Structure 1
Amino acid sequence: MDVQGQENFREFVAQRSPALLRTATLLSGGDRHAAEDLLQNALIKVAGRWDKVEDPEAYTRQVLYRQQIGRWRLRWRQREMSVAEPPDTAAGTDAGDGAELRVVMGKALARLTARQRTVLVLRYFEDLPEAEVARLLGCSVGTVRSTTHRSLARLRVLAPELSALGLGDPSPAAAGLTPVEVRS
């Protein structure tokens, strides 16, 4: 990479890292350290191909998604963690209390499998169509649809208080949750 390319890459990292880190945080289930690792690895790969990349942000996001897919494929044997007692929930949440709703949604998303979380992040936070999600994940549109359906059903189980608040659709977007607001 030449000097101008290095400078352009530094500017890109400085300007777009916060947004990319938010996406990485969502993909990693709210684990800030895992998100930072995910983003750093993605930026290393982007730096190696910087001179050939036409749209750096799109390419970096694709690298993020694919790295996360690789992580959950490697951990396919690690399923849900069993616990003796259910986690604390936000009982008695007021529908007007958006902060508590975001916390509940963030915790529920963190308890989904990496694949379920990835599909929901791409569909609802990145607002990608099913066909684009399928292309990024290397699967069929039907797989994206069924995974989305199962993920939303799992959210209903993990966060029943969302239904109690009168939210018929517990999707992250319907709950008013945006990537900026999800922080663990």
Structure 2
Amino acid sequence: MADATFRSGLRILIVRAKPGNRSQGFLQAGKLVFPCALGKGGISANKREGDGATPLASMRILAGYFRNDHFAKARRTRLPMAPIGADLGWCEVPDDRNYNRPVRIPYGASHERMRREDRLYDACLVLDWNIAPRRRGRGSAIFFHLARPGFTPTQGCVAVTARTMARLLPLLSGKTMLKVVR
């Protein structure tokens, strides 16, 4: 990754489904291609809360979270990154005032715990899906995070191996777009 595109950072990551497997895909970063996991619902142009689909969209990478005790390499990036504490959650209830926002847990409405035992969010980047403007029921917690072994499906996120994430992080910035295409 020594060409000029990578020295100046990545402007775009392109994600597409793997032929014959809608919940796995390929992530293209410049001339390099990496395997990735997609949502169990495949790619959807009509993303809805709970459908398990990855949105067909261009999404800016806003910022991220990391587990300092598991993935300290996340500090090597141009993105704003915050450590994941035991009290960090993400609200997933469309009628809640904090829908699709980070919350401090315990929290009264249903939420996702960001400090996970399965380590999927050891490095977790927030995509600007349904952030501003925020539309009730259009999907929450759409992240770019770490994949399970075998690239099993996500709930709508894009996920890569820890090695791929560590390789990409230094090249990402708030100007990087993650574009999911068909």
Shorter-chain TM-score range: under 0.3
Which structure has the larger Rg over C-alpha atoms? 1
TM-score for both structures, normalised by structure 1: 0.26
- Which of 1 and 2 has higher RCO (CA within 8 Å, sep 6+)? 2
